[in-house]
C-alpha cells in the first residue's frame, strides 16, 4: 500500500512539473484566471488518476489478502485433521502396548511357572529312567531349560525398554568375579583392575551371556580370558575364548535378533541383550578374531564402559 502511494506521489510530481514547464514554454502570456482554471482542471485530472491507481492496487492487495486467508484456513484445517489422525493413532498404539504387555505378562509369568514345573518333572524322569528312554528325557530337559532361558532373556529385554536405567557407580571387579564363580568347571583367567563403572544391576547379564556362550559353544578344553583395562578415558573390557570363533561375514549379525539362520531357536537373543545393555550404559561393542586373520582360532568380544568419577 505504501509503495503504491509512493508511486502515485512520484508520478503526480512528475506530471505537475511537466505541466508547469509546458505552460511556461507554450503559453507565456496566459492570464492569472486562465492559469488558475487550467491548474485546477489538471489537478482534478491527476486526482482522478491517483484515485484510480490507488483503488486498483487496493483491489490487488485485497485479493492477495483474501487468498492468503483462504490458504491459512486450508492449512489450519489440514493441520487439525492431521492432529486428529495422530491422536487416533496414538490411542491405537497405547491400546496395542497394553495388549502386548498383557501377553508378555502371561509369557513371562504363567508360562514361566509352567516351564519350571515341567523342568522338575523332566529332572525326575532323567533320574528314574535308564537306557534310551533316559536319553529322551535328557533331551526333553534341555529343551525345557532352553525355554526357561529364553523367557528370562525376554523378561530382561522388556525391563530394559520399560523405562530409563538406574545408572549408578558399580563395582566392575566384583560383578566379573561373581559371574566367573557361576562357571566352576570352566577354565577362565581374569586379568582385571578394580574399577567403578556407570551401570545398573543388569551389568552381570553381559558377562553371564559372553562367558556362557564361550563355555557352551567353545567345546571341551576351551580357555576363556576376561581382561579389564583403561583406554582413551574409558574402561575397555574383553572376553576372549579359544573356541571355533565367528566368521567375518557373521561378526555384525551376531548382535541382532535372529538375523543369522544358522542359530537355533532363541540363540539370537543373548548377544542382542548384550548389545542393548552396553549401549544402555553409553558404550560400544564389537567382536574380532582372537588371532587377527584367523577366525577359526577363537573370538574376542570387546566393549567399553564409562568410568564413574573417582572410579579407580
**pLDDT for 180-207, tens place per residue?**
999 988 999 999 888 999 999 899 999 9
Q: CA distances (Å), 155 to each of 63, 112, 152, in order?
A: 64, 10, 5
Average pLDDT, the chain: 81
CA 106 to chain centre: 28
Q: Which CATH architecture has domain 168-305?
A: 2-Layer Sandwich (3.30)
pLDDT one-digit tens code per residue, 251-278: 888 887 655 444 444 456 788 889 999 9
pLDDT one-digit tens code per residue, 171-183: 999 999 999 999 9
Q: CA distances (Å), 119 to each of 104, 108, 139, 302, in order?
A: 21, 16, 11, 35
Q: What is the pLDDT of residue 264?
A: 41
With pLDDT > 70 as the criterion, what percentage of the chain qualifies? 77
Query: Within 13 Å of residue 155, how many CA atoms lie on the same side as its CB?
Result: 15
DSSP 254-304: GGSTT--TTS-TTTTSHHHHHHHHHHHTT--EEEEESSTT-GGG-EEEEEE
Q: What is the pLDDT of residue 199?
A: 94
Q: Which residue has the higher pLDDT, 57 or 9?
A: 57
53-67, 127-141, 173-187: range with lowest mean pLDDT: 53-67
Look at residue 76 and tell me whether its pLDDT is greater than 80: yes
Q: What is the pLDDT of residue 155?
A: 78
Q: Which residue has the higher pLDDT, 161 or 50?
A: 161
pLDDT one-digit tens code per residue, 137-150: 888 888 888 888 77
Q: What is the pLDDT of residue 251?
A: 87
Q: What is the pLDDT of residue 260?
A: 45
Q: What is the pLDDT of residue 210?
A: 94
With pLDDT > 90 as the criterion, what percentage of the chain qualifies? 28
Average pLDDT of the residues in 147-161: 78
Look at residue 3 and tell me whether its pLDDT is greater than 60: no
Q: What is the pLDDT of residue 262?
A: 45
Q: What is the pLDDT of residue 30?
A: 59
Amino acid at each position: 500500500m505504501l509503495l503504491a502511494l509512493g508511486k502515485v506521489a512520484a508520478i503526480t510530481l512528475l506530471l505537475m512539473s511537466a505541466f508547469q514547464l509546458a505552460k511556461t514554454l507554450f503559453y507565456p502570456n496566459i492570464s492569472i484566471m486562465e492559469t488558475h482554471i487550467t491548474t485546477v482542471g489538471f489537478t482534478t485530472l491527476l486526482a482522478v488518476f491517483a484515485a484510480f491507481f490507488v483503488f486498483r492496487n487496493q483491489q490487488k492487495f485485497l485479493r492477495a489478502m483474501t487468498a492468503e486467508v483462504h490458504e491459512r484456513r486450508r492449512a489450519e484445517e489440514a493441520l487439525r485433521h492431521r492432529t486428529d489422525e495422530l491422536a487416533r493413532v496414538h490411542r491405537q498404539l497405547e491400546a496395542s502396548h497394553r495388549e502386548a504387555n498383557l501377553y508378555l505378562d502371561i509369557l513371562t509369568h504363567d508360562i514361566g511357572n509352567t516351564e519350571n514345573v515341567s523342568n522338575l518333572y523332566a529332572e525326575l524322569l532323567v533320574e528314574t529312567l535308564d537306557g534310551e528312554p533316559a536319553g529322551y528325557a535328557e533331551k526333553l530337559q534341555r529343551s525345557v531349560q532352553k525355554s526357561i532361558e529364553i523367557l528370562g532373556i525376554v523378561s530382561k529385554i522388556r525391563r530394559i525398554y520399560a523405562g530409563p536405567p538406574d545408572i549408578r557407580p558399580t563395582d566392575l571387579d566384583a560383578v566379573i568375579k561373581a559371574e566367573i564363580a557361576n562357571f566352576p568347571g570352566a577354565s577362565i583367567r581374569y586379568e582385571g583392575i578394580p574399577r567403578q563403572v556407570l551401570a545398573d544391576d543388569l551389568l552381570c547379564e553381559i558377562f553371564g551371556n559372553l562367558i556362557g556362550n564361550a563355555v557352551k559353544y567353545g567345546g571341551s578344553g576351551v580357555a576363556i580370558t576376561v581382561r579389564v583395562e583403561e583406554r582413551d578415558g574409558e574402561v575397555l573390557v574383553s572376553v576372549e575364548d579359544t573356541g571355533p570363533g565367528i566368521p567375518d561375514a557373521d561378526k555384525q549379525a551376531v548382535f541382532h535378533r535372529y538375523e543369522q539362520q544358522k542359530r537355533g531357536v532363541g540363540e539370537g537373543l543373548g548377544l542382542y541383550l548384550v548389545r542393548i545393555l552396553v549401549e544402555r550404559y553409553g558404550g560400544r561393542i564389537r567382536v574380532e578374531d582372537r588371532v587377527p586373520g584367523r577366525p577359526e582360532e577363537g573370538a574376542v568380544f570387546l566393549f567399553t564402559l564409562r568410568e564413574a568419577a573417582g572410579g579407580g
